[in-house]
Each structure stands twice: as structure tokens, then as C-alpha cells.
Chains A and B, each alone.
Chain A
Amino acid sequence: MTTATAQLPKSTKPVSLVTRWKRSTWIPRVLFPITILLFWQVGMQVIRRIWPFAVDVLPTPMEVVDMMWGEIINPFVEGKQAITRENLYLTFGRSLLRLGSGFVIAMVIGTIIGLAMGLSKAVDAFFHDWVMALLAMPALAWALFTGLIFGMGNRSPIVTVVLTGIPFVIVNVREGVRNTPRELFDMANAFKVPRNRATRHVLIPSLMPFFFAAIRYAFSIGWKGLVIAEVFSGQDGAGWTIKFYYDAHRAHGIIGYAFFFVIFALLLEKLVFEKISNRVFKWRPKTTDVALVEALFDGPDDAASATAAAQI
């Protein structure tokens, strides 16, 4: 941006409104949600006119905001009963507990298998195809399958989180082991640094970025898997609540909960992951968002397909 402005010939005339409009980047960014809201409102009006029975089904933006606000303040209002069985906080708490337990199991097992695969060619050949298959398997399949096997309750969502998250942990940890910096180990050897110190200062820090990527992927993919599992075999939790609104044909409930989801994911990213990442990777030159997007698509093949798989 600075270069673009620098190239402009210096003129004494103030920049005209049109050019300013064209050059600004925040105006279109603000315009985007406004356009969407406008489309939404107008679209509703049009559809209702030609399709009168759709009144209950189609939510207006205001309905969604009302619903969300109601959920947020619900526990703090005396005597007000929640529409769903439990209020927003309990629901998310329950889901988070399941996510957490599944996540820990996936991290432990995945790290062990990933380390073994990175260290031994035989183990790698043994597991490779099955890990790739697991990676490509949609969370939906696990959700339905575990739902049928374990029935309603905690087990199906937790096992789904484990099964969807584990291949991401394995792939990342394996890559980390394979990319250990040999030249730094040689350096440590040349200086006769003791083995445990080399492990602590060379091996573990070099694994950290991969480990951290594993945590992020496993978390975001596990979260999506968890919700799908709760849709099919939950008796409570975020997924169940969404299903509840779906069965009640209340689209505003679904959209509202979708927003809670996005907000929750953003909070987690900004307040937890980014903080940890800044602490752990203080030594790294700062990467911009652009570089991150590029990294998404330039990774090695396994990692790239992992990224694609993480979307759903």
C-alpha cells in the first residue's frame, strides 16, 4: 500500500473523494457485511411474497440477534426458563469437556505413533496407508458409526474426536521427527554437549512447531467432528442444541448457534492459541496472515491434504 502511494506523482490538489473511495480497503470490508444483511432482508421479503408459508422457517437478522442475546443473558435473568434444556454456558461447557478428553487421548496416542513412524521405516510402512485413510475419512462417518455402536451419551462424541483428530497429530509429529535439524546435532556433538541437554535444547524446540500445528489441527477438526457426533447421538451439548433447533424448524436458532461457534473459535484462537504461540515461538520472525494463507497451500502433499481435510 505504501509503495502504491509513494509512486503517485505529488500534486498540490487534495485527493478526490472517488480516488479515496477506490483506494480504501476498510470501506469494502465494512460494505461486505452490510451487503449481506441487505440481501438477507430483501431476499426474505421477496420469498415471503411468493412463498407465504415460509414465514416460520426463514429467519430475519433481527430474530437471530434476539435469539443470541436471549441465550447470552438467560442465566442472569430471574425466573426465565431456557428454550432448550440447558443454557448456553452449560451446553458449551459440556461439549468442551468432551472435546478436551478426546483431544488428550488423541494427542497421547497420536504422538506415540507419530514418533514411532518418524523414527522407523518399518513402522512407517506399517501404519502409513491406514493413517492416510483415516485422514480422508469424513467425521460424519465416525459420528454415525460410533453413534450406532455406543448409543446416546458421552462415548460416541469422545471417540469421534479421537478418531478425527488422531491422524493430524500423527502426520505432524512424524514430519517433525523427520525434519530434525541434523546440522545442529552435529554442532552439539562437535562441542561434546551431553545428550540430555541436546535433547532439551535442540530436539524438543525443533519439534515444537510441528507439535503446535498438531494441536491446532486436532482441536479444530475435533471440534467439528464433536458437533456432528452430538447431532446424531447427543442428549446435550452444542451439537444436540443445533439439532434441537433443526427439529423444531427454527432456522434462527441454527444460525445463532453457528455464530456462537464462530465467536467461540475466534476467542479460542485469539486468547489461547495466539498467546501460547507468541510465547513459545518468540524467537521466530513474525509471519503475516498472507504468509499463513500461502503456507496453507504450499505445504508438503500430506500436510496439504490434511489442510483440505480439516475444512469440514
Chain B
Amino acid sequence: MAEIKIKNLHKEFGVGDDKVVALVDVNLEIEGDVFVSIVGPSGCGKSTLLNILSEIETPTSGTVSITNKGHAALPGYVFQAARLLPWRTVMDNLLFVQEEVTDAVRARCQKYLDMVHLGDKGNKYPGELSGGMQQRVGIARAFSVEPDVMFMDEPFSHLDAITARSLRRELHEMWKATNKTIIFVTHDVGEAVELSNRILVFAKGGVLKDDIQVDLPFPRDPSDEQVAIAKANVLKKFEELDLVAT
């Protein structure tokens, strides 16, 4: 569990012609074991926000603090592409990101591999696995460091619909079982409604437009009436904010 505080965050890239403004004056507070989705059209700065939160990029101005009971929070990260080391086995990929390698850590990695149903694939190389399996390894890797907060950058967008759906279900169960704060970037509103307590809507140019609470019981079935209505409501808000056209 983590506490995230973002104040007056501003980010731009490049100089002159190549200058792009990615985020404008973002203020945000996230607390507890919530599942927060960030949605918006492409180029709205949602990936940039995630990169700043995980310290891959630094903000142009403003402050970001991520803490867990006063200490710096430990992050986990799931990328759009799995980003596995192709020359290391699945198990070694998990061990690569651990602080130290002990028998206990090994057992922990094995546990998370089991959770994504890849317990028997530890000795395989990533090249021998399918795309969906590789992304599962990426998820197991992020959980295996037992992070306080988890960042996910459109992790299911490269996968086919059926694989994505079953992975969403697995992710939800893992979230419930581990009580993590999850920041989940997606462009799929249905996915956001199905998974999250809270949806942040970004518009082009990096402006935070809306902050929506979704109070429906879990697990949510996308074909369920309540979920469908919630999704329709979010889409209606999109229209009101004039986001659909862009």
C-alpha cells in the first residue's frame, strides 16, 4: 500500500520545433489499496505520467512523492511489451530484479509464477513462450518484488482479446490477494471500468479532466448490466468533455 502525492506536475520534451508539452499542472492524491486507471486518447501524456511516477523520467517542474508509512515506497512495473531479457530464463528474469537472491526469494518467485499459471516454465527462455505468456511473466516479475505500488502501462494492448480477458481476471485476483496500490494506464474504457475503483480522465495536451469513482462490487463481468451502464456513463462523460473526436 502506498501514498502518492503529485503537486503542480509539468512536463515537456525537446526544444524548438520538436517541443512537445506532455503534462500540464497535474495535482493528484492516491491512497490505500485502490486500483486506479488512467484513460485518455493517445498523446494525452498518460504514459509520461507513469514514467515520471516510476522515475524513468524526471518532471520539468512540480513534485512527486510516493511513500509507504513515511518510507519511500517500493515500485513494481509492467510494461506494454513484456521487456524480458531474452538471454535469461523465465526464473532468472524474475531473480534479476530482486534485491538479493536467497532460497526464500526463489520460493517467492516460484509462487508468483504459479499464480500466473507458468509454474512449470521457469527454465524456458522468453523466446520459447507466446506473447500472452511473456506478458504473464512480466506481471509475475512485477508482483515478485512485493511492491507497495504497481505501475502498469497498457499491459494487455498487444494481446488478442481472449488472452487479454483471462489476464484481466488473473490480474484482478492477484490484486485482491496482495492488497496493492495499482496505477493502470489504458486506452480501453471497458477495461478500466472492469478493473478499477477510480478512473482518471486525461485530455490531449496532458490536462487532467475528470476523476470518476466506480463503486460496483467485484468481480465485475463485462457483460453484466451494471458494468455496462457504468461504462456507458464514462463514455458519456468523454463526450461531454469532447474527448471522443480527438
Using a CB–CB cutoff of 8 Å, the interface residues on chain A facing chain B are 183-184, 186-193, 197, 201-202, 205-206, 208, 281-285
Contact = CB atoms under 8 A, between A and B. Distances in A.
Interface string B94-130: 0011000000000000000000000000000111100
A283 B86 contact: yes
Nearest to B56: A186
13 contacts: A186-B56, A189-B55, A189-B56, A190-B55, A191-B77, A191-B145, A197-B96, A202-B85, A205-B87, A206-B87, A208-B87, A281-B87, A283-B87
Contacts of A190: 54-56, 75, 77, 151
Contacts of B55: 189-190
A198 to B, nearest CB: 9
B127 A201 contact: no
Interface string B40-58: 0000000000000011100
Nearest to B127: A285
Given A197-B96, A201-B88, A201-B96, A187 B83 contact: yes
B79 interface: yes
A197 B145 CA distance: 16
B133 interface: no
A201 B77 contact: no
A205 B96 contact: no
Nearest to A189: B56
Contacts of A281: 87
A282 B86 CA distance: 10
Which among A189, A191, A192, A208 has the highest number of chain B CB atoms within 10 Å? Answer: A191
Contacts of A184: 83, 85
Contact of B76 (A183, A188, A191, A285): A191
A183 B125 CA distance: 18
Interface string B54-77: 111000000000000000000111
A188 B75 CA distance: 12
Contacts of A208: 87
B81 interface: yes
B87 A187 contact: no
A183 B87 contact: no
Given A190-B54, A193-B97, A282-B125, A205 B81 contact: no
A285 B124 CA distance: 12
Given A187-B77, A283-B125, A284-B127, A201 B54 contact: no
Interface of B: 54-56, 75-77, 79, 81, 83, 85-88, 96-97, 125-128, 141, 145, 151
Contacts of B76: 191
A285 B127 CA distance: 7
A190 B50 CA distance: 11
B91 to A, nearest CB: 13
B85 A191 contact: no
Contact of A201 (B75, B85, B125): B85
A285 B56 CA distance: 31
Contacts of B151: 190
A186 B55 CA distance: 9
B56 A193 contact: no
Nearest to A201: B96
A191 B86 CA distance: 17
Contacts of B141: 191
Nearest to B89: A283
A3 B33 CA distance: 55
Chain B CB within 10 A, most for which of A193, A197, A283: A283
Contacts of B88: 201, 205, 283
A285 B128 CA distance: 8
Contacts of B77: 187, 190-191
A201 B127 CA distance: 17
Nearest to B86: A283
Nearest to A280: B87
A272 to B, nearest CB: 21
Contacts of A187: 77, 79, 83
B182 to A, nearest CB: 15
A182 to B, nearest CB: 10
Contacts of B97: 188, 191, 193
B180 to A, nearest CB: 15
A307 B97 CA distance: 39
